[in-house]
Amino acid sequence: MTKKAKNPFQRSLFEEEEDSHLLSSSKTSSTFADNLSLPIHRWFRYSAGFSALWARETIRTAIAEQKSEVRILDPFAGSGTVLVEADRAQVPSFGVESHPFVARLARAKTANTTNADKFKAYTTEILARAEKNKPNLESHSVLTRKCFPDEILANLDQLRSAWRQVENTTEKELGWLALASILRQCSPVGTANWQYVLPKKTKAKTSNPFEAFKTKAKQICFDLAERPVGAHKSSLIRGDARSMLEVPDEWATLVITSPPYPNNFDYADATRLEMTFFGEIEGWGCLQDAVRKYLVRSCTQHISPIVSTTSEIVRSPELDPIRKEIEAVIDALEKARHEHGGKKNYHTMIAAYFLDMAKVWKDLRRVTSPHARVCFVVGDSAPYSVYVPVDVWMGRLAVASGFRSFSFLKTRDRNIKWKNRKHRVPLHEGQLWVKG
Ligand SMILES: C[S@@+](CC[C@H](N)C(=O)[O-])C[C@H]1O[C@@H](n2cnc3c(N)ncnc32)[C@H](O)[C@@H]1O
């Protein structure tokens, strides 16, 4: 069974096109697919990412319209799509990302202390060392061994050892990115863009690790050589959107972002394969401490320890602007829970998610200028068929935090064609525009 069938209200950022109906004829904001043909964006396929061309257009419009300097913030920076585009437009930007693996990706993509020549020299050295290294398969976890046949893992291990042997530099971070980005294409087991592994599926075609690494290194060199001179104004902060300590007061004039949706997608599990390969975690059990505790609580895996405190969370004053509606939804979810085998704690997830987002809006008000504009790419959700109007509640939380007004531009319908879907609640996705 695919992840899609298991997760009927999965966000459309992860859905196939057949499940959605594009409403905007031009660029949709919510898909990473086109980024795979764009310099720098194509270095790592981050399926939760949004459209770089849409971000580019949004930045261009702001530069044309704004009289003062444009300063951009992405509080959920992900793989750095907005930062790469801000650098391209040569405007200053901050990105905040709390997932350690994803933050590292964004930082590697926007690092300004290397160039094509330095990276070429670095990868030549890595490959030369790798060829001489003796593979050590025993050093890999059960998961990694399950995903790669010995002869492929042997090559990957040689590359990993070579990568470890060379001292810390910006090039080393790009080397890490290059190696991370080829893992799934080298595995013959089904590795979807997101799930760590689909044990019952196999791929017909897999890449040779040395060849794949060389190809990726060439691509990175090419893009580095093409990067405009002086295009380095972004800063990636590994931090928390709920409290963006490093971002100065009233700094941003434009916010472009997409937060996790409250749809039970586990961002921590999504990078398990890569983090395990590099020895950053030993297994699933480590994800809570290594990753999940830093993230907005948007999946039930986050909240098992706090289920008993649901009513306390709902009573938080931060939720006053949506109190009546959220209480009704949480009641409905608690009831629905008993009618479903999985008995998932969506009621706690929704309460914790909106408490987290209320904190994000509060801190966004602090770090944005009085006339800032904010765009959140968001999608609604319907766990156990209980509708959660994410865009409206977000807008209300924004206004309660001191923003002036909000409007929503729908870009696509979701959950309208899906044959296996478990509920028939129509969903949508779009841009929530908030005025400062
Ligand atoms: C939809 S993705 C953003 C993707 C991004 N627009 C891109 O193009 O790569 C949402 C991101 O929010 C991050 N995130 C979750 N909780 C966070 C928090 N408390 N602070 C900062 N980032 C967080 C997730 O790790 C994820 O990368």
Give pLDDT, residue 18.
32
What is the C-alpha separation between 27 and 58, in angstroms, rounded? 11
Q: Is the CB of 48 within 6 Å of ligand 1?
A: yes
Residue type at 27 in one-letter notation = K
Give the containing element (helix H, strand E) for 48.
none
Q: Is the CB of 97 within 6 Å of ligand 1?
A: yes
Q: How far is the CA of 133 from the centre of ligand 1 (A)?
A: 37
In terms of C-beta density within 10 A (0-12 exposed, 13-18 middle, 19 or more buried), how is residue 433 classed?
A: middle
Give the containing element (helix H, strand E) for 129.
helix 116-132
Q: Is the CB of 78 within 6 Å of ligand 1?
A: yes
Give pLDDT, residue 10.
28
Computed over its alpha carbons, how large is the radius of gyration of the chain?
A: 22
Q: How far is the CA of 350 from the centre of ligand 1 (A)?
A: 17
Q: How far is the CA of 392 from the centre of ligand 1 (A)?
A: 20
Helices and strands, counts by H and E, the chain: 16, 10
What is the C-alpha separation between 111 and 168, in angstroms, rounded? 14
Give pLDDT, residue 192.
66
What is the C-alpha separation between 115 and 224, in angstroms, rounded? 6
From 36, 85, 97, 105, mutation site for ligand 1 pocket: most ligand atoms within 8 A of C-beta: 97
Q: Is the CB of 96 within 6 Å of ligand 1?
A: yes
Give pLDDT, residue 283.
82
pTM of this structure: 0.92
pLDDT tens-digit profile of 302-336? 888 899 999 999 999 999 999 999 999 999 999 99
What is the C-alpha separation between 172 and 125, in angstroms, rounded? 11
Residue with the smallest CA separation from ligand 1 atom 17 is: 295
What is the C-alpha separation between 240 and 72, in angstroms, rounded? 17
Q: What atom of ligand 1 comes closest to residue 35's alpha carbon?
A: 8
Q: How far is the CA of 17 from the centre of ligand 1 (A)?
A: 22
Handedness of CA 421, 424, 425, 429 (dihedral sign): positive
Q: Is the CB of 360 within 6 Å of ligand 1?
A: no
Q: How far is the CA of 75 from the centre of ligand 1 (A)?
A: 8
What residues have CB less than 8 Å from 204, skipping those under 6 apart?
Answer: none
Residue with the smallest CA separation from ligand 1 atom 16 is: 295
Q: How far is the CA of 76 from the centre of ligand 1 (A)?
A: 4
Q: How far is the CA of 78 from the centre of ligand 1 (A)?
A: 4
CATH topology of domain 3-109+234-435: Rossmann fold (3.40.50)
From 98, 104, 357, mutation site for ligand 1 pocket: most ligand atoms within 8 A of C-beta: 98
Q: Where are the domains of the chain?
A: 3-109+234-435, 116-226
Angle at 295 between CA 289 and CA 299, to 5 degrees: 95
| Number of CB atoms found within 10 A of residue 211's CB | 12
What is the C-alpha separation between 319 and 359, in angstroms, rounded? 10
In the chain, which stretches have pLDDT less than 70? 1-28, 30, 191-200, 416-423
pLDDT tens-digit profile of 247-293? 999 999 999 999 999 989 899 998 999 999 999 998 888 999 999 99
Q: What atom of ligand 1 comes closest to residue 356's alpha carbon?
A: 19
